[in-house]
Structure 1
Amino acid sequence: MENNITATYYGQSCVAFDFNGTQVLLDPFITHNPLAKDIDVNALNPDYIFLSHAHADHVADLVQVQKNSGATVVAIVETAAWVAKQGLDADKVIAYNFGGTLSLPFGKVKMVYALHTNSTPEGDYAGVPCGYVFTVGDKNIYFAGDTGLTMEMKLLEDLNIDWAFLPIGGFYTMDMYDALKASSFVNCTKIVGVHYNTFPAITIDTAEAQQLFSEAGRELFLPEVGAAVRLW
């Protein structure tokens, strides 16, 4: 079957995938994002919500979106335990861990390493962060989550990753230069940059970033907030 896959960028690290009709939202942070003021969070209707970790700039709109949509929330074990305390039905939370692979109606999702910290908006420990590799048909998409450059990315080199969603803003995560190295580590030439320009500390020169990747023979996509990228 031919894939019909798009990714809509909602700012920071919030991305909505349409996997052949199944809606998958990652790291919902919209209402507190000054760059996403034109996005109606109540219009989001995902089937699944995946969390890379529980920092406020990744979960601020989680409860509202989940209550509106009835979505199933997926996260690493300790973050999932925090999610379960937010008033969700138990059958709407999936907790798994590194190396695990979920088989879901749209495809498979492998949890992979991310180098970052993790706490809840209240400041409580929430385990460790993670990234995901989504496999839909014969296509593979890497969502790195918040991460620094790490040698563990090389473990993904032979997974035939078609698209990689990488943080590029620096300060809290990789900057554009480390993200370029990361694209080499995971052996991927099509990159969507995330986690940049939301706050002063992670503001970048987008023209410089695109030139940097272009000179290395890679494509860097920096969609406007609310814009969709057709992946296939």
Structure 2
Amino acid sequence: MLLLTYYGHSAFALSDGKDKLLFDPFFSGNPLATTTADVVTCNYILVSHGHADHLGDAPAIAARTGAIVIGTPEILETCRAENGHGMNIGGSAKFSFGSVYMTRAIHSSGVPGLLSCGFVVNIAGKNVYFAGDTALFSDMELIGKRFRLDCALLPIGDNYTMGVEDAAYAVKLLQPKHVIPVHYNTWPVIAAEPERFKELVEKDTDSQVHILAPGDALDMDKL
């Protein structure tokens, strides 16, 4: 079983029934959040970069749960995590659930000296790519060829990240089986139309787009 739960903005969780991975846990101050940081449970927290809407509640959740924080060394310092696993772009590591490969992301970081990143997570026999906040870049094609992605979570909100058109082109490069748009409609400045994204992707690729509302869960074994 692999269950993906979307919490709004770019926050989501993956659970294989044994381990639960929490990504960019932005709850406090997130107008779309359907839950709160004090009730979320997890074994691992993956943080793509240091902006407040991505680092979010990671330090508090890690302190409460004892979860292992996975990110760059600068992120671990920012979180002051007692349990942490530092990585850098192009590196991979094995964990109890499977493995994590850290990818590049073209975006500012929020912390001096920090590089923004994305992750390809292998869990329950599936490869899930979380792009983080990023612009479109040609090496996405290499990511798709390297990992044969089952699912990609891509930002579509424009202004700070890819917009709908660039994200749709990213799908062409990545060639995932399934796509979930994130990082949109949290505030007016990143307003976007996920239905338009779905239309563009499914017109030009074989990928299937799943539009999730905050609080929705998707059983990836049933896709």
TM over 0.5: yes
Cα distance, 1:13–1:126 mapped onto 2, change above 3 Å: farther
2:168–2:197 contact (8 Å) kept in structure 1: no
Q: Does 1:222 align with 2:211?
A: yes
Secondary structure of the corresponding residue to residue 53 of structure 1: coil
Percent of residue pairs identical: 33
- What is the distance in 2 between the residues matched to 1:156 and 1:48? 23
Residues 182-221 of structure 1: pairs in structure 2 closer than 5 A: 182-217=170-205, 218-221=207-210
- What is the distance in 2 between the residues matched to 1:44 and 1:137? 21
- What is the distance in 1 between the residues matched to 2:24 and 2:6? 11
Residues 37-186 of structure 1: pairs in structure 2 closer than 5 A: 38-84=34-80, 88-89=81-82, 92-120=83-111, 125-158=112-145, 159-186=147-174
1:8 pairs, out of 5, 19, 25, with 5
- What is the distance in 2 between the residues matched to 1:136 and 1:17? 8
2:164–2:196 contact (8 Å) kept in structure 1: no
**1:96: Cα distance to partner?**
1.1
- What is the distance in 2 between the residues matched to 1:19 and 1:127? 30
- What is the distance in 1 between the residues matched to 2:49 and 2:16? 22
**TM-score for both structures, normalised by structure 1:** 0.90
Secondary structure of the corresponding residue to residue 171 of structure 1: coil
Unaligned runs of 5+ residues in structure 2 are none
Q: Which runs of 4+ in 1 moved over 4 A?
A: none
2:158–2:190 contact (8 Å) kept in structure 1: yes
Unaligned runs of 5+ residues in structure 1 are none
- What is the distance in 2 between the residues matched to 1:24 and 1:160? 21
- Aligned-CA RMSD value: 1.4
- What is the distance in 2 between the residues matched to 1:80 and 1:151? 29
- What is the distance in 1 between the residues matched to 2:197 and 2:90? 32
Bigger Cα displacement from structure 2, 7-16 vs 56-65: 56-65
**TM-score for both structures, normalised by structure 2:** 0.93
